[in-house]
């Protein structure tokens, strides 16, 4: 059974951002991409042609999150990595008219930078909500997908159900959520829940806390729950909580797609990226990347998505 798809930002200055430098796809010097294979030494003529193409390409400034493993994060060498990033690097290769440059930032600073025109694109595995749709462009094709749910202590007594049912149990028990980032998907869903229910979810929208820290807070009893994607939880849980003191409760109606965000004046770029993404979905590359990072084709959870069942491309070596 397919799980259904569910489609006021803090005013922080860019000076307060965690800025790790501008990079292109691949290593910090921008010399490679995660999709590249061994191609041997390029001829001087080919190198010159490539340099000319780069000079003519339109630079696209991209703010990218680094605290959402396995979607976008920094690897052990301090370099950008993750499923969202790998997909965008492939797209960059397919669009020679553009050159993508990344700045690692927190999600709220990315959005502030997009609002001020500093960045044309935001990469942080973005969840759809109506407020974002009014401010930014959403492309046709999702970059990822999966199932949303609640991380709680293993002995919490919270049982499976729809999102509303699980959150109602949590609220009725008088439990406390790990703080969330203002304006993110959890803030929106908890705020909407509290506006439509007599019983309220106890939470604060004050800061962005990553999944590893959230799990530790729940294990310590500092907080009682946190809303995340199942892929985020399974990626880090064995290392953070090997004894199984926490558990993930998937919402029965928690299927979702996630997206790359674009500034409102970037429709031409959105159209170009959508054209590249269509090819990556059709040839099974997106399915292969999903298998690599999540162990399954997460696009199966996006209800009605035309490429949900495409087999992974066996030739993809990213």
> pLDDT tens for residues 104-122?
998 889 999 999 999 999 9
Res 17: pLDDT: 39
All residue ranges of the chain with pLDDT < 70 are: 1-21, 26-54
* pLDDT, position 44: 45
Q: pLDDT value at position 131?
A: 87
Which pLDDT value is given to residue 37? 36
The pLDDT of residue 109: 93
> Are 53 and 96 within 8 A, CB to CB?
yes
* pLDDT value for 51: 52
Q: So what's the pLDDT on residue 43? A: 40
pLDDT at 145: 92
């Amino acid at each position: 059974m397919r799980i259904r798809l569910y489609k006021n930002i803090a005013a922080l200055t860019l000076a307060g951002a965690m800025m790790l430098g501008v990079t292109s796809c691949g290593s910090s010097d921008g010399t490679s991409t995660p999709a590249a294979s061994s191609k041997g030494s390029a001829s001087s003529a080919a190198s010159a042609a490539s340099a000319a193409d780069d000079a003519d390409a339109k630079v696209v400034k991209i703010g990218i999150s680094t605290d959402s493993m396995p979607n976008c994060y920094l690897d052990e060498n301090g370099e950008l990595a993750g499923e969202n990033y790998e997909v965008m690097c492939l797209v960059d290769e397919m669009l020679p008219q553009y050159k993508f440059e990344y700045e690692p930032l927190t999600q709220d600073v990315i959005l502030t930078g997009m609002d001020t025109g500093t960045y044309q694109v935001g990469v942080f595995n973005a969840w759809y909500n109506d407020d974002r749709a009014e401010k930014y462009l959403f492309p046709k094709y999702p970059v990822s997908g999966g199932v949303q749910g609640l991380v709680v202590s293993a002995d919490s007594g919270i049982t499976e159900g729809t999102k509303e049912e699980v959150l109602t149990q949590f609220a009725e028990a008088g439990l406390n959520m790990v703080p969330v980032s203002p304006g993110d998907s959890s803030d929106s869903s908890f705020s909407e829940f509290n506006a439509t229910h007599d019983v309220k979810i106890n939470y604060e929208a004050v800061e962005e806390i990553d999944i590893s820290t959230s799990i530790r807070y729940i294990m310590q009893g500092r907080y009682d729950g946190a809303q995340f994607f199942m892929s985020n939880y399974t990626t880090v849980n064995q290392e953070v909580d090997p004894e199984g003191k926490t558990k993930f409760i998937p919402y029965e109606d928690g299927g979702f797609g996630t997206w790359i965000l674009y500034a409102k004046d970037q429709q031409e770029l959105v159209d170009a990226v959508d054209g590249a993404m269509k090819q990556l979905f059709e040839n099974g590359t997106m399915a292969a990347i999903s298998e690599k990072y999540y162990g399954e084709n997460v696009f199966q959870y996006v209800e009605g998505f035309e490429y949900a069942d495409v087999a992974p491309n066996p030739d993809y070596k990213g």
